[in-house]
Amino acid sequence: MKTESRRLAIADYKKRPSVAGVFAIRCRASGEVWVGTALDLDKIQNRIWFTLRMGDHRNAELQHAWSAHGAASFTLETLERIEDEELAYVRDTLLKERVQHWRAALKAAAV
């Protein structure tokens, strides 16, 4: 019975809806801001923090700031959520438009 309940829990986890959106990473020490998009806002911080801890993030400026100031100086905040968009191409177009808006508004770099 234990394996059956585990299978059900995994199936429920996979069925949960993901919310796409725009997020910002801020460095309190330097004042720098990076803005990006994610198809699942609930998981993006773990993904980015992992690559930064490993020293393997694709954005060299962000990686350098992380190495210089440490994890305690960084925060991730959700700027905008895009919910209930079932068509992937509409969601992707909307994400591109909104990330450009936020980068301009915050004078931020890309993640």
Summarize the confidence of residues 8-35 as an average pLDDT: 89
Q: Please check whether residue 80 is in contact with residue 102, taking contact to mean a CB–CB distance below 8 angstroms.
A: yes
What pLDDT, on a 0 to 100 scale, did the predictor assign at position 15? 76
Q: Which pLDDT value is given to residue 110?
A: 94
Q: What is the pLDDT of residue 74?
A: 98
Mean pLDDT, to the nearest integer, of 89-107? Answer: 94
Kindly report each contact of residues 17-20 with a partner whose C-beta sits within 8 Å and lies 24 or more positions away, as own/partner.
Answer: 18/42, 18/43, 19/81, 19/82, 19/83, 20/81, 20/82, 20/85, 20/91, 20/95
Q: Kindly state the average pLDDT of the residues 3-18.
A: 80
**pLDDT tens-digit readout, 35-83:** 999 999 999 999 999 999 999 999 999 999 999 999 999 999 999 999 8
The lowest-confidence range among 1-15, 53-67, 78-92 is 1-15
**What pLDDT shows up at residue 1?**
57
> For residue 64, what are its two tokens?
């350098």
DSSP 14: H
Residues facing residue 38 across a β-bridge: 21
CATH architecture for the domain at 18-110: 3-Layer(aba) Sandwich (3.40)
Each domain of the chain, given as residue ranges in start order, spans: 18-110
Tell me what percent of the residues of the chain surpass a pLDDT of 90: 76
